[in-house]
Amino acid sequence: MWRVELSLPRGAADSFSEMLAGVASAVTTSADERPGPAVVTALALDARHLAAVEAAIAVAAQALGLPAPAVVAHPVPETDWVRAYQAGHPPLRAGRYLVHGSHVRDLPKGGALCLHVDAGRAFGSGEHESTRGCLLALDRLARGWRARRVLDLGCGSGILALAAARTFRARVVASDNDPVATEVAAGNARLNRVGRWVRTATGAGLDAPLVRRGAPYDLILANILARPLQRLAPGIAGALAPRGRVVLSGLLAWQERGVRAAYLAQRLPLAFRVRQGEWVTLVLAGARRNAHLGDMDPARGR
């Protein structure tokens, strides 16, 4: 493969890009705010394709009445994209959970709950700190506590629903406002052999009929963003069973105070938190639970 770069007057860059779009494998144009030429980059698959790209450049220059620009062609090293993807996506451990993609063949024989989730069209492959924080919180909650009804609100790929189903053998409702996400989550549930435990619903917030029918929940998982979490506080509190737990994530450390205040107003105090980099996961306790379990910071141990 070859990468062709052209330095062109800004007024001519779009015309060259349009001409090359019909010939090259890919074309990009870049120009920052500073005065000066624009750079048009085109990809050619092989030497024959490169000759066609150079011919198109000559035709474009002639049509615009410009001298033929200097063509700089750089060979692009061949890359094994499958191997590169696999190297960049090793199995991820979070407490008792091991999240892996299809390319991972050698899995531990015991001691880990393996979750098969490929990075794809929906958020949640275990790589983001907020997802990892939720898995670590779930791992800690499962020590001596059990949930029978679980809601994964804003489920994305369904990774938290899978983890809850595998951990508790509980009925889980996984909901999202994106139908692609719920489709992916349902597929992942089947792939991980928990399809009979996980049901998916598409809808905003807690409005989906399946979500309403499943309440009250012993455990509500919501890895979303700070503002939606604050807005959903009354609804989440209303859907929570007595002595239930809420796991909130998708917020940065500086957003914690506002989110905690919204849920404290609903009588859901903090039980413990999990920190992953700049991201914080909050675990809140329902009524009649007084124990404050403290912080869980990987830098300080559990």
pLDDT computed for residue 174 by the predictor = 96
- Fold classification of 91-296 (topology level): Rossmann fold (3.40.50)
Two structure tokens written together for 120:
């794809």
Beta-carbon contacts of residue 284 (< 8 Å; ≥ 6 apart): 245, 246, 247, 248, 263, 268, 269, 270, 271
Q: Is 156 exposed, middle or buried (0-12, 13-18, 19+ CB in 10 A)?
A: buried
pLDDT computed for residue 159 by the predictor = 94
User: Which string of DSSP letters, residue by residue, matches 34-70?
Assistant: SSS-EEEEEEESSHHHHHHHHHHHHHHHHHHT-PPPP
Element (H, E) at 5: strand 2-8
Q: Where are the domains of the chain?
A: 2-75, 91-296
Q: What HEC string does 240-277 produce?
A: EEEEEEEEEEEEEHHHHHHHHHHHHCCCCCEEEEEEEC
pLDDT computed for residue 213 by the predictor = 94
Look at the block and give the residue holding tokens 């008792």.
96
Q: Are 39 and 48 in contact (CB under 8 A)?
A: no
Residue by residue, pLDDT tens for the chain (302 residues) are 788 888 888 777 788 877 777 777 777 877 555 567 788 888 887 777 788 888 888 888 888 888 878 777 888 776 544 454 445 557 788 889 988 877 666 666 666 888 888 875 545 555 788 999 999 999 999 998 999 999 999 998 899 999 999 999 999 999 999 999 999 999 999 999 999 999 999 998 899 999 999 999 999 999 999 999 999 999 999 999 999 999 999 999 999 999 999 999 999 999 999 999 899 999 999 875 333 334 444 433 33
pLDDT computed for residue 73 by the predictor = 82
pLDDT computed for residue 68 by the predictor = 79
- Using the 8-state DSSP alphabet, how is residue 203 labeled? -
What are the Cα distances from residue 62, in Å, to 15, 39, 51, 209, 291?
12, 19, 17, 64, 79
Q: How many residues does this entry show for the chain?
A: 302
Check for a shared fold between 2-75 and 91-296.
no
Class of 2-75 in CATH: alpha beta
pLDDT computed for residue 75 by the predictor = 82
Q: Are 224 and 176 in contact (CB under 8 A)?
A: no
